[in-house]
Chains A and B, each alone.
Chain A
Amino acid sequence: MVMDAFIEGSDGVFVGACKRGECHYSSGNLYAEGKMDLTRRLMRLAGINAGRLGMRMMSSAEGNKFTEFATAFQAEITELGPLGRSEGISKEDLAIKLEACRRALAGRKLRWVVGKVVEFKEKGNLYGEVFTEHEIGRLLEETAMDEYRLREILERLKVKPQSVKTLASETGTPAKVLLRQMADLRKMGLADIQELDGDSAVWALAGNGKTYE
């Protein structure tokens, strides 16, 4: 939903939540916080200013705080200007990046991981190992990075087939890393080499129209 708002043209999204321990739905605000944290990670990976997604916690009795937060956020976003401009991202690129973020967030992998995080923190994993905040952060970051890159590649290939070299320059990912990812995509049956253009391969979405969920 947050990404939908950005895609529909919002320059900033403000999420207001209850204070920790005061959530009407017990711990919903903490889950929301986790999700927003992940969303910000993806925005950073996409080169979008994560400050455009604000989250503040306040109680229902703190109307003044809400005004304060909302006014300050409004000012920050106005200062940043339209989405993409302060980031130096073109309109077309922005659409691709936002869609990649949206798909990564809606994708099974990240939803699974973020859902499991709470359990990991409290009960440990299958083997009873409890993770520290730092370990979880790293786990999330790595998964998010992987997911985001895959999604962005897929989005870009959707626009037109291209070589690893051009993909690397467009996504800002080192060609080496990219190559490994292309191999993954190929294994998953999502992308394949379409033709050879001189000495470099041109990649395209796999023909059977399979989607990555």
Chain B
Amino acid sequence: MSKRKKKGSGDSRASGDGPRIGVFVCNCGTNIAGFMDTEDVAGYSATLPNVVFVRENLYSCSEAGVNDIKQAIIDNKLDRVVVAACTPRTHEPTFRAACKDAGLNPYHFEFVNIREHCSWVHKEDRDLATLKARDLIRMGVARSAYLEPMEPIIGNVVERALVVGGGISGMTAALELAARGFEVVLIERQKHLGGLVKSLYEIYPWGEKAADYINGLASRVERNSKIRVLKACEVTDVRGYVGKYEVTVSSGDETVVAGIIVVATGARPLLPEGMFGHDSRRVITMLELEAMLLRSRSRRKKVVLMGCAGARIPGRFYCSRICCMTAIKNAIIMRKKWKADVTVLYRDLMCYGVQNETMLVDAKKAGVRFINYSLENPPVIEKDTVTVSSEILGRDLKVPVDLLVLSTPLVPQDTNVALSKILKVPVDEYGFFLEAHVKLRPLDFATDGIFVCGTARWPASIRECLEQAIGAASRASTYLARGEVEVEPIVSVIDEEECRGCGLCVALCPYGAIELIDTEKGKKARTIDVACKGCGTCGATCYRHAIRMKHYSDEQLGAQIRAAFVKDP
């Protein structure tokens, strides 16, 4: 590939006092240049209003490309930089930094995407791609003329964490944060710490008694001088933003001030009311079985464990992830302890990973019987038998039973929806908390300074809960250790003259980032800069047009739209 570099077109078009815009057209190797005539695009850019410098780069993001931009800013006294290249996701920081290095405000930079938005989608039509790139650059240049300088917003962080939920995840997160030297307030809804794990029998694969482990954890929490535990207590209101959340709790009129919040409210097993003849005696839930195992002796000899009872069905379509393993663990225990015949009815055995699959093999060796059933033909439950239509054998099997155990799925806490509204973080369609990104940011919420771990997020094994809790503590400490947060200044600005203090924006802001304050001229809305995400809901709503969005102002977007319909010669 040859390197085509064009000399800048000088300052012949500088028009008096107007902005001095520089346009850089990136070839991205052949990613852009292979599908359009970049030379034509660059030439056209030079004809646009206020453009005083144009250059084509092989890779604008390379060190050479970036140096080129810096030099051009200095040599040509550019005050706006437009780079036509790829997505801002990867390289906007690169180019903003280049502007800053060359003495230009980093927000005087405009990114035009002629790769993902143009060359890659119009690979078949070179002329069309070229024309579209011209359009896109014309629009970007038009907007850039209206860009305003901005400074990042810095907020302080209170060195205290609030952990909501005193189960295995919440307690672990609290201990980990305390170990880093931060103060922690731990809130538990029940009168005791421990959560769901407290009611379990043995933890696989350690063989440790769940109660021993959880009680040990609870006493470490209670003894820790950095951790304050509030029991029988709930969060009733949250105000503020990352660095300074003001949390009202139900125990009294106290307000907890915390820099960050960890949500670890856990989940609960579905109660199979009216399902499968559940009577808590002959037909019980897995949790009731754990309690039975704790009481040790039993004369039950014919046990059937039924998986996916109320899970992976229309309306509750998800797999609860841990039930197969719990069933297999308890099947082995019952084989050994009660010498019972144990049959596991399953749809798919979800024994992912090394330890789970190993346990499945162990169970088969221990004589646990596994029968597959399908959603279409669920087991028929009668007094002394369960009839399963086995897919593999192609016939009905009658299994004698004196104890039927239902693996019901973990379902979200009923309080999740209310809490999600208080915290202004989302829940998914089932009511589990929804993280910022299911793959890449599993422990963060999109809202800065709020984190999630354990079964509040999604069903998880004890090991996974621990990993997530320690991980959430890690994510939280990045804020607490730094002591301050830097936030993008893309926020809303409220004109107090125009504002009538109606509070509509306050009600609609998804981030609680606007407050009403008393002024001499009555109530006025004011943006809390650190909390504002710049979504624009308030600006689009204010009936008096008193709110403008920085960096996405009506003038900037209007200019862009107008430029879209300018005829290309």
Please list the residues of chain A having a beta carbon within 8 angstroms of any beta carbon in chain B.
1, 4-5, 8-10, 21, 24-28, 31, 35, 67, 106, 108-109, 111-112, 114-116, 118-119
Q: Binary interface profile of B, 406-424, with partner A (CB < 8 Å = 1, else 0)?
A: 0000000000000000001
* Extra pairs beyond A5-B564, A21-B434, A106-B545 (8, CB < 8 Å): A1-B554, A5-B565, A8-B561, A8-B564, A24-B446, A28-B535, A111-B541, A119-B507
Q: Write out the residue numbers on chain B whose beta carbons fall within 8 Å of the beta carbon of A31.
A: 508, 537, 540-541
B426 touches A21 (CB 8 A): yes
Q: Are A28 and B426 in contact (CB under 8 A)?
A: no
- Closest residue to A119 on the B side, CB-wise? B507
Residue numbers in B under 8 Å from A5 (CB-CB): 561, 564-565
Point out the residue from B424, B536, B543 that lies within 8 Å of A28, measured CB to CB.
B536
Let me know if B543 and A8 touch, CB within 8 A.
no
Complex Cα spacing A109 to B544, Å: 10
Residue of A nearest to B434 (CB): A21
Partner of A25, one of B510, B542, B557, B561: B510
Closest residue of chain B to A2 (Cβ to Cβ) is B561
Which residues does B use to contact A, with CB under 8 Å? 121, 424, 426, 428-429, 434, 446, 504, 507-508, 510-511, 533, 535-537, 540-545, 554, 557-558, 561-562, 564-565
Distance in angstroms between the alpha carbons of A5 and B561 in the assembled complex: 6
Judging by beta carbons under 8 Å apart, are B510 and A26 in contact?
yes
Could you list 5 A-B pairs, sorted by A, with CB under 8 Å? A21-B428, A27-B510, A109-B543, A111-B542, A111-B543
Known: A21-B426, A27-B510, A31-B537. A108 touches B543 (CB 8 A): yes
Given A25-B510, A25-B533, A111-B542, are A10 and B565 neighbors across the interface (CB < 8 Å)?
yes
**Using a Cβ cutoff of 8 Å, how many contacts connect chains A and B?**
66
Nearest B residue to A109 via CB reads: B543
Give chain A nearest CB distance to B349 CB in angstroms: 29
A9-B565, A21-B428, A26-B446 are known contacts. Are A115 and B545 too (CB-CB below 8 A)? no
Verify A1–B557 contact, CB threshold 8 A.
yes
Residues of B within 8 A of A118 (CB): 507-508
A115, B541: Cβ atoms under 8 Å?
A: yes
Contact A108 to B544, CB < 8 A, known contacts A8-B561, A21-B429, A24-B446: yes
Residues of the B chain whose Cβ atoms lie less than 8 Å from the Cβ of A112: 504, 543
- Bound-state CA distance A107–B541 (Å) is 11
Return chain B residues, CB-CB under 8 Å to A35: 540
Complex formed: what's the CA distance from A147 to B81 in Å?
Answer: 43
Q: CB-nearest residue of chain B relative to A67?
A: B121
A28 lies within 8 A of B561 (CB): no
How far is it, in angstroms, between the C-alpha of A4 and the C-alpha of B564 when the chains are bound? Answer: 11
Tell me, in angstroms, the Cα distance from A148 to B554 when the chains sit together.
23
Residue of A8, A10, A106, A115 ringed by the most chain B CB atoms within 10 A: A115
Contacts of A26 in B (CB 8 A): 424, 426, 446, 510-511, 535
Determine if B561 and A1 form an interchain contact, defined as CB atoms under 8 angstroms apart.
yes
* A115 near B504: Cβ-Cβ < 8 Å: yes
Rounded to whole Å, the gap between the CB of B119 and the closest CB of chain A is 15
Q: Within 8 Å CB of A108, what residues of B?
A: 543-544
- The contact of A8 among B426, B542, B562, by CB within 8 Å, is B562
Chain A residues, CB < 8 A from B536: 25, 28
CB-based contact A115/B508 at 8 Å = yes
Contact partner of A115 (CB less than 8 A), chosen from B121, B535, B543, B554, is B543
Interface centre among B540, B541, B543, B561 (most CB of A within 10 A): B543
Counting from the closest, the 4 A-B pairs by CB-CB distance are: A25-B535, A26-B510, A111-B543, A112-B543
Nearest CB of B to A131, in Å: 16
> Which residue in chain A gives the minimum CB-CB distance to B538?
A115
Q: Does B510 lie within 8 Å of A1, measured CB to CB?
A: no
Q: How far is the CA of A67 from the CA of B117 in the complex (A)?
A: 11
On chain A, the residues within 8 Å of B557 by CB distance are 1
For B508, list chain A residues within 8 Å (CB): 31, 115, 118-119
Residues of B within 8 A of A115 (CB): 504, 508, 541-543
Q: Which residues of A contact B535 (CB under 8 A)?
A: 25-26, 28
B159 to chain A, nearest CB (A): 28
B510 contacts across to A, CB distance below 8 A? 25-28
Instruction: Look across to chain A and name the residue whose beta carbon is closest to the beta carbon of B447.
Output: A26
Minimal Cβ-Cβ distance residue in B for A27: B510
Q: Are B446 and A8 within 8 A (Cβ)?
A: no
Is the CB–CB distance between A4 and B558 below 8 Å?
yes
Kindly provide the distance from the CB of B21 to the nearest chain A CB, expressed in whole angstroms. Answer: 22
Chain A residues with Cβ below 8 Å from B558 are 1, 4
Tell me whether B561 and A4 are in contact (CB under 8 A). Answer: yes
- Measured CA separation A188–B457 after assembly (Å): 55
Complex CA distance for A8 and B557, rounded to whole angstroms: 13
B426's nearest neighbour on chain A, judged by CB, is A26
Q: Could you tell me the distance between the alpha carbons of A80 and B562 in the complex, rounded to whole angstroms?
A: 23
